[in-house]
Structure 1
Amino acid sequence: MSGVVTALTEHDDRWVLPFRGLTVTQVRVDFAFGLHFGDQAAVRISNAATLGWVNAGVRPETVELYPERQDVAAGLVLFNSTVLSAVAFKSGALRIVFNDGHLLKVAADDVYEAWTATGPNRMLVVSLPGGDLAVWASRP
């Protein structure tokens, strides 16, 4: 699969998640909103999220997703979308951009873990309460 990164990349203010080129093969809803990228990676969102567009000037509409209330139907549009970029900010926020122009954002939560991401080689990234990240980098 060309263009697929299999390891985390750290920058001063963020981690680039190794999701580029992965396709959403499953959307799960329980007390969280989950995106699964085959058996390679997943994101589980427990906090409110914003689904909008990369080019907000052309398509300014956004919708809020509330996993705790299972109010996430608008997120089903992400099924079969491919990730262009996925960034975990060291502030605890998450941003994923998809090939169809959708942009999914999750802010950190003051009290709860807002989201978790798993990936290749047992990678795990968790948005900690208060706005920080716990990162377990990929291991062979």
Structure 2
Amino acid sequence: MNESAFAELADRWVLGLRGLDVTKISVDYQLSLLLGSDACVVLEAPFQLSWGSAAGDGPQDMLDPGQQDVAAALALFGATILSAVAFKTGVLRLVFDNGLHLNCRANPSFEAWQVAGPGDWRFVSLPGGDLAVWSGAESAEESEAG
């Protein structure tokens, strides 16, 4: 996956995760999805996992990493990301090739989720519903200016 797959639109970022497979799932007080060796998605707030269409008309589960209530998310192991979007309201939406859809909303009090990679990209859902974005290009520009 190359970093040019990232694109900023008026209300969202298209994340450069398309084609990456979930190669590891870990659980503590958060759920972490390792995507090959290129990227990681970390969920700290409750999130919705649904099957079927993006409209959410299929079966749905609300999972809570803080309670280690994420067993249904084990079905993501080995799945390939078809679509990954970070909305500027702090919502994350991932669609997988096995028919699963993951949606995580912003939390009013803490960072609900973050995506690191590929490359030096980082996206964080900030408390209250904003999105923070960092890229390797910004880091390089800051280093040159300093």
Q: TM-score, normalised by structure 2?
A: 0.88
What's the C-alpha RMSD, in Å, of the aligned pairs?
1.7
In structure 1, the partner of 2:7 is: 9
Question: CA offsets per residue over residues 10-48 of structure 1, 9 Å max, x none?
Answer: 000000111000000001101101111121001000000
Measure, in 2, the Cα distance between the counterparts of 1:54 and 1:123: 30
- Hey, what does 1:106 align to over in structure 2? 104
Given that residues 120 and 138 in structure 1 are in contact (C-alpha distance below 8 angstroms), is that contact kept between their aligned partners in structure 2? no
Q: Indicate which of 23, 28, 31 corresponds to 1:30.
A: 28
- Contact conserved, 1:86 with 1:96, CA < 8 A, in 2? yes
Residue equivalent to 1:51: 49
Q: How does 1:1-140 map to 2 (within 5 A)?
A: 4-7=1-4, 8-55=6-53, 60-139=58-137
Which one has the bigger helix percentage? 2
Moved over 3 A (4+): 56-59
Task: Report the alpha carbon displacement of residue 64 of structure 1 after superposing the two structures with TM.
Answer: 0.9
Shift in Å at residue 60 of structure 1? 1.6
Equivalents in 1 of 2:68, 2:13: separation in Å? 28
CA contact (8 A) 2:12 2:87 kept: yes
Partner-residue secondary structure (3-state), 1:75 = helix
Kindly state the Cα deviation for residue 130 of structure 1 after the two structures are TM-superposed. Answer: 0.3
Cα distance in 2, alignment partners of residues 40 and 93 from structure 1: 22
Cα distance, 1:59 vs structure 2: 6.3
Structure 1 residue ranges without an equivalent (≥5):
none
Using the TM superposition, give the Cα deviation of residue 138 of structure 1 relative to its aligned residue in structure 2, in angstroms.
3.9
Question: Sequence identity of aligned pairs in percent?
Answer: 45
